[in-house]
Chains A and B, each alone.
Chain A
Amino acid sequence: MAQTPPIRDEYEIPLTPLPGLVLQRQFSLPQRIWQQGWVRKGAILLLLALVWEGVARWQNNDLLLPTFLQTAQAFIDGIGSGELFGKTWLSLQVLLKAYVLGIVAAFVLTTLAVSTQFGRDLLGTLTSMFNPLPAIALLPIALLWFGLGQGSLIFVLVHSVLWALAVNTYAGFLGVSDTLRMAGRNYGLRGLGFVLQVLVPAALPSILAGLRIGWAFAWRTLIAAELVFGATSGKGGLGWYIFQNRNELYTDKVFAGLAMVILIGLLVENLVFNTLERVTVKKWGMQR
């Protein structure tokens, strides 16, 4: 038995303006404060510090685990005497040099890889060979080749930055859509112009991820290398500071040094990379 829908009257409603209806409502003040990422992250840090302080007091052994306040005191003292800053600056200088070198090398390798078959094979082979190789394992060889100094540190740091960044950048280049590539070529772009004006910005999310990983790898490798062989030409960095103070059983200073490592990590992550992301890929809607 077929059912037919009933026929109803048509109607039209003239639309009148809506006075007094709020179309947009602001969040309340506490809600807005909690919306800020740094407030939430700060709360987490505060919680961790409280837990630390509690555990250390309960454990009550300065040699094994100084309290948060003792570490903070050692940290402030270290800053005050300029020692901690000096050591950090030394480490950062080496790190930045190697980081920039690594970025340039990665860019050259990936540009070669997108433009020639040989470059592709070269990058593929080299990354699969060297990416799994821990940079620190190259240190003995580097010491042999470049001696005790910045040279060998830079060598292992470049190694730690280069492959992670190259792999990410290349993967990013491969992910650039055909439409964008064709559009770029349509406007007569080729070679380096094509890479710089189309591939690099289009692959920026992956490149930034690679830069992040590369930075973390380099920072780790640097501290580890300094811990292993200490001073470079008489001037030790942050790793050396940690190592020395452990030898002299200044555990609070060891913690202060570690805190510095963490602090720099947080600063670079939040100030440099997050800012970079905010003014590029987030603004462009390429990343949420």
Chain B
Amino acid sequence: MHVSTSEIAQLAAQGLPPPVLQVDRVSLQYRSATAVVQATHEVSFDVHPADRFVLLGPSGCGKSSLLKSVAGFLPPAAGEIRLDGQVVQQPGPDRIVVFQEFDQLPPWKTVLQNVMFPLLASRTLGKRDAAERARHYLDKVGLARFADAYPHTLSGGMKARVAIARALAMQPKMLLMDEPFAALDALTRRKMQEELLALWDEVRFTLLFVTHSIEEALVVGNRILLLSPHPGRVRAEINSHQYDLSSLGGAGFQQTAQRIHRLLFDESDQSGAPRTAEPIINFSDVRFSY
């Protein structure tokens, strides 16, 4: 489902603001030692300002590759990625990535220096202004007390918070998160999702979020792009703005989760047996994070 120019005109007519990010029929390829692997095939989607846009799909659907491509690390084999109408060609500080790995924080910098790092490296701010802004965002993620600590003394959740503060401090056009909470324990992950939503409520950043958990997608996102595996193709776009952490386990939430599950794994809906007869929660809905 491509958004053609006429459709964009139509969207504009509906009073939609122009999208921040346009991914236009992007095909991505990986070069392994022996072969070229097709990661995605003609994927298109638009991200609008203040969207919490989630890329969701099973492993091998190319969602992480798409995010890397938006970040500028992986040039598309075909198609275009446009940020504010400009074609993305290389990594830049207008799209800050929050990675999953804990080693994304340079261990030789304190928490404060870590948050200041992109501001200084990209020459966005001088030293004093950078420190001021860094403290502001550290305060927002609740780590003001740890400004002078080194990353190796922090817990996983705190490291994730530093990475988020670092990304927010740049005030980028887009925040790109590649399964940022996947390496955290379940309780911390839930707390981080809550905090991320609270931060979004306050700052209203534009977020592109990659996850493999249906539950996380529904909670974190306001719109979800479903990708099919091998190669990644767009299966559907679904609204999830009505759900947050308090809707976990609710009937509507469960229904949407089941619908996503069906779409992702291509189980046919016309199985004949009345679905309502099933219990609302069954084992296929419980998604474990690997």
Contacts and interface: CB of A to CB of B under 8 A. Distances in A.
B93 interface: yes
Contact of B106 (A180, A185, A193, A283): A180
A11 interface: no
A183 interface: yes
B96 A204 contact: no
A208 interface: no
Contact of A186 (B93, B101, B103): B93
Contacts of B107: 202, 284-286
B101 A179 contact: yes
B150 A285 contact: yes
A179 B104 CA distance: 5
A189 B121 contact: yes
Contact of B118 (A186, A193, A201, A284): A186
Contacts of A183: 97, 99, 104, 106
Max chain A Cβ within 10 angstroms of own Cβ: one of B71, B97, B107, B170: B107
A189 B119 CA distance: 11
B153 interface: yes
Give the bracket for the number of chain B residues in contact with chain A.
20 to 34
A270 interface: no
B122 A284 contact: no
A182 B118 CA distance: 12
Contacts of A202: 106-108
Given A177-B101, A177-B103, A286-B107, A197 B73 contact: no
Interface of A: 177, 179-180, 182-189, 193, 197-198, 201-202, 204, 280, 283-286
A182 B91 contact: yes
Contacts of A179: 99, 101, 103-104
A180 B118 contact: no
A74 B74 CA distance: 68
A186 B91 contact: yes
Given A180-B106, A183-B104, A204-B108, A188 B92 contact: yes
Given A187-B93, A197-B121, A284 B108 contact: yes
B211 to A, nearest CB: 18
A270 B211 CA distance: 49
Contacts of B76: none
Nearest to A204: B108
A186 B96 contact: yes
Contacts of A197: 121
B53 interface: no
Looking at B96, B99, B122, which has the most chain A CB atoms within 10 Å of its CB? B99
A286 B99 contact: no
B152 interface: yes
A201 to B, nearest CB: 4
A285 B151 contact: yes
B209 interface: no
B91 A188 contact: yes
A189 B108 CA distance: 17
Contacts of A201: 106, 108
B117 interface: yes
Interface string B54-94: 00000000000000100101000000000000000001110
B121 A184 contact: yes
Contact of B117 (A187, A204, A280, A285): A187
Contacts of B121: 184, 187-189, 193, 197
Contacts of A187: 93, 96, 117-118, 121-122, 170
A284 B152 contact: yes
18 contacts: A179-B104, A180-B104, A182-B68, A182-B71, A182-B91, A182-B99, A183-B99, A183-B104, A184-B121, A186-B95, A186-B97, A188-B92, A201-B106, A283-B150, A284-B107, A284-B152, A286-B108, A286-B152
Nearest to B172: A186
A180 B93 CA distance: 15
A197 B122 CA distance: 12
Contacts of A184: 121
A186 B118 CA distance: 8
Contacts of B117: 187
A187 B92 CA distance: 6
Nearest to A185: B91
B282 to A, nearest CB: 23
Contact of A188 (B101, B108, B122, B150): B122
Contacts of B106: 180, 183, 198, 201-202
A203 to B, nearest CB: 11
Given A188-B121, A188-B122, A284-B108, 13 more contacts: A177-B103, A182-B73, A182-B91, A185-B73, A185-B91, A186-B118, A187-B117, A188-B92, A201-B106, A204-B108, A280-B108, A284-B107, A285-B152
Interface string B113-124: 000011001100
Contacts of B91: 182, 185-186, 188
A224 to B, nearest CB: 37
Interface string B148-182: 00111100000000000000001000000000000
A80 to B, nearest CB: 45
A184 B166 CA distance: 13
A146 B152 CA distance: 50
A66 B135 CA distance: 65
A183 B101 CA distance: 11
